[in-house]
Amino acid sequence: MFALTFRFPTGRYHATPWGRHVNEGDVAWPPEPYRVLRMLIATWHRKADQAGWNRASLSRLIEALAEDDPVFVLPEAVHAHTRHYMPQGRLAGGREDTKLVFDGFYRIDPQDALVMAWPGLRPEPELFELAGHLAKRIGYLGRAESLVEASVSAEEAGWEYNACPLGDGKISPGEAAAEVLAPLSADAYAAALPGLRAMNRDRPGSVRGQTFKETLPEPLTEALAVETAQLQAAGWSRPPAGRFVTYRRPEVGPQPSGRRRPAAENGRDGATVARLVLAGRPLPRIEDAVKIGEVFRRALMSKLESPVPIVARRSG
């Protein structure tokens, strides 16, 4: 078997599903295999030792992973969001114009692992080493806010898969169905390519026709690497090298399950950050707020065995 393991050190996972607007607040869960394979390709282009692993090795790895749909071990998550008033770069009514943006994400315990596994895949040693080389260089999964630490595994560790393709199965209580974007296999893409190219109705040699053609390169790895902006400019509502697969997964809501973790060994019950907010009227001057924050920091650190990052802000 082969598995990719992800941990989220900041406890947040941001990823907007294909075809959804960010303001819908939806989160791609489980992570879309199409997105993960693109991430591996991008990591090879930007960070990999290309002298040790060439493009042919990358293509063999990607095609092996695209052959079957993976199964997942999804950690417990809580659906949350923040709201931001983003500046639009213009004035409205004598003041800067802003637009409300919802940022939906999942809260995940940093200690929990998300496992993406291909039980029937046994890659040759060279490809396994390449996957490990790329995994060590992955910085985020989804959007850039989703910092991750990734690794690979060839052995199961007693995992209980809780997200898998639905097939002909039924949704059980406590589960939900999710449309997940997955890649076509290399053979399926090669078979579909003539029909996809025949969909181009633009005049040969036209700019739009050329744009359309560039979204359909022949190797699967190159097709997965086509930029989203290119696909949209060519009029694709779905990536031509992708398909939707219905997965069954645990339901995710806005409240935690109530499962409590044991207190951390350092005695601070897993606390990783402390925040002081000065609110009310009148507020102190910003210079005094800094002094108050420093007193708070010293008082808190005197109660702890090891330092904790402290964030202080002045409300208003």
What value does the mean pLDDT of the chain take? 88
Phi-psi region of 290 (alpha: psi -120 to 50; beta: other; left: phi over 0): alpha
**pTM of the complete model beyond 0.85:** no
Q: What is the pLDDT of residues 123-138, one digit of tens each?
A: 999 999 999 999 999 9
Q: At 291, is the pLDDT very low, low, confident or very high (cuts 50, 70, 90)?
A: confident
Among 31-40, 152-161, 276-285, which range has the highest average pLDDT? 31-40
Query: What does the alpha-carbon distance between residue 250 and residue 173 come to, in Å, rounded to a whole number?
Result: 9
* N residues, the chain: 316
208-226 pLDDT per residue, tens: 888 899 999 989 999 999 9
- How much is the pLDDT for 93? 84
CB-based contacts of 226: which residues, under 8 Å, 6+ apart? 214, 215, 217, 239, 241
Q: Cβ neighbours of residue 313 under 8 Å, at least 6 residues apart?
A: 275, 276, 277, 278
How far is Cα of residue 190 from the mean position of the Cα atoms in its chain?
A: 28
Under DSSP, the state recorded for 163 is B
The percentage of the chain sitting over the pLDDT mark of 70, rounded to a whole number, equals 91
Query: Which pLDDT score, from 0 to 100, does residue 196 have?
Result: 94
CATH topology of domain 2-162: Alpha-Beta Plaits (3.30.70)
Closest CA to 294 of 283, 315, 310, 280: 310
* 87: number of Cβ within 10 Å: 10
User: What is the per-residue pLDDT for 278?
Assistant: 75
Q: What is the DSSP string of the chain?
A: -EEEEEE-TTSEE--PPTT--GGG----SSPPHHHHHHHHHHHHHHHS-TTTS-HHHHHHHHHHHHSS--EEEPPPEEEEEEEEEEEEEEEETTEEEEEEEEEEEEEE-TT-EEEEEETT----HHHHHHHHHHHTT--BSSSTT-B-EEEEESS--S----BEE-TT--PPTTEEEEEEEEEPPHHHHHHHHHHHHTT--SPTT-HHHHHHHHT--SSHHHHHTS-HHHHHHTT-SS-TTEEEEEEEEE---SS-----PPPPTTSSTT---EEEEE-SSSPPPHHHHHHHHHHHHHHHHTT-SS---EEEEE--
Region 288-302: mean pLDDT is: 81
Query: Looking at the DSSP assignment, which residues form a beta bridge with residue 105?
Result: 80
| CA–CA distance, 130 with 55 (Å, rounded to integer) | 11
Helix, coil or strand: residue 16: coil
H or E element: which one contains 93? none
- Distances from the Cα of 312 to the Cαs of 77, 82, 275, 297, in angstroms? 27, 19, 6, 9
Domain ranges of the chain: 2-162, 274-314
Say which residue the tokens 């900041």 belong to. Answer: 10
User: What tens digit of pLDDT does each residue of 22-81 get?
Assistant: 888 899 999 999 999 999 999 999 999 999 999 999 999 999 999 999 999 999 999 998
